[in-house]
Structure 1
């Protein structure tokens, strides 16, 4: 059995995933990124190996991705998170043509061609209101943790409008709504509506085409995907459970297997050439 690993060093979380040559996930791990990128990538990798019951020497190829990919000293190659996400998303949902990735600090919309290659992409402006941090800060203003966002918003009866174009201004809106007696759940639903509105605008800028696949940690909250469906008036693909956060790491590991296959083929060609076998 041949194994590869994908290491996704994101701005908020670092993910490691081990993939067999039958394309089964045998181990994964997630760590808060922090500031010591080299250390956290190694720690996440070791945890994933432990879950898989493997040692470092059992993994044939490691591909790093994410904004901190250049800090993964033990990787054999690195690719952009756009490329890794494209491979991971189309592996899970082959019909994917548009990807929306909502992370803790960034939001990206990507349109793919028929070969799962990135055709065009757009990033959110440098503002937390277009990222998962916007929801986390909104929850924190009201005394809730990130883990409580899902259960909280599930009880919402309506969406309280949050029109602030930045997370700083949104804070004053949240305080104002609370003082007027608005329910925290309704305010949270309004924050999600605001974030989705920005997401859909980003998707329009890449000339989105179905199928739509949503990835990133914020998509753990089912309400987020449901609101996107309502805005697009179309169905969307969402990886199940925690996998929604590991799509770039999965794509990186897949690219690792493809790289091994290419190296094997090149080695066979060179061996045949040295032996004088006609091509």
Structure 2
């Protein structure tokens, strides 16, 4: 039986999905990308082997994501937009607006009848990405989840800088002035939410909204994003693998 393997090498995490007949998900793997995308690709192959999945005549591999060109055993390379859109269609449905908050960038993809009709991406420096949240959490000495917990009990403290480096300087100044950590955490998350909602608006995004990527299991972010968009945001744990899933589905169609 043919097997489709999708490998999504992001700037922070590498996701792998193995799909079988009818697109049924057989395996999901998640690992840090680390310094080298080439090394991440080899670790992905080793991870597959540990699950009893070897590359061969009955397997096809499609690579996507930030490090997609670094997968030497890929049969095809496909853009993130295409793969995230396809994965979201499989997970959620053919129509809606997909929001993927990645480590390096944020993508908004509009779907209609199962096809991508428009998309937008933020600037890599913009303070609206997962990496920005990581930097701010580290600065406050907390984890991602703890950042969200702090934000729930805080009052909004505006963080205006569009660049992660300058925004970090703002946070340092707020800490120095004695601003409570919950207030800073609230400001950090609301800064991201505001920029993501603005990006969604630039595509003419409409409900239903779907969240993919590493923040899909952060309930507070999902809640606040829905409030900013004026409509609930749907997600699920598998949404983190949307890009790899779309790649795996594409791999199943290769000759």
Under a length normalisation based on structure 1, what TM-score does the superposition of the two structures give? 0.84
Alpha-carbon distance, 1:66 to partner: 1.0
Question: 1:105, 1:128 within 8 Å by CA — same for their partners in 2?
Answer: no
| 1:243-278 Cα deviation digits (max 9, x unpaired) | 232110011101122x14xx4xxxxxxxxxxxxxxx
Check conservation: 2:217, 2:236, Cα contact below 8 A: no
Q: 1:143 aligns with which of 141, 144, 163?
A: 141
Report what 2:155 is aligned to: 158
Cα deviation per residue 1:82-135 (whole Å; 9 max; x = unaligned)? 000011001011144211111111111111232x22212111123141211111
Equivalent in the alignment of 1:217: 214
Q: Give the CA RMSD over aligned residues.
A: 2.0
Q: TM-score, normalised by structure 2?
A: 0.91
How many residues are aligned here? 255
Q: Select the structure that is richer in helix.
A: 1
Does 2:171 align with 1:174? yes
> Is residue 249 from structure 1 mapped to residue 244 from structure 2 by the alignment?
yes
SS of the residue 1:139 aligns to? helix
Structure 1 contact 17–48 (Cα < 8 Å) conserved: no
SS in 2 for 1:246: helix
Are 2:91 and 2:239, in contact at CA under 8 Å, matched by a contact in 1? Answer: no
Q: Are the counterparts in 1 of residues 157 and 186 from structure 2 also a CA contact under 8 Å?
A: yes
**Unmatched segments (≥5 aa) in structure 2:** none
Offset of residue 2 of structure 1: 3.0
Distance 2:76 2:179 in 1: 51
Question: What runs of 5+ residues in structure 1 fail to find an aligned partner?
Answer: 264-279
Residue 64 of structure 1 contacts residue 72 of structure 1 at CA under 8 Å; is this kept in 2? yes
SS in 1 for 2:17: strand
CA shift at 1:49, angstroms? 4.2
- 2:223 maps to 226
Point out the structure with max Rg over C-alpha: 1
Give yes or no for the alignment of 1:119 onto 2:114: no
**What SS is found at the alignment partner of 2:162?**
coil
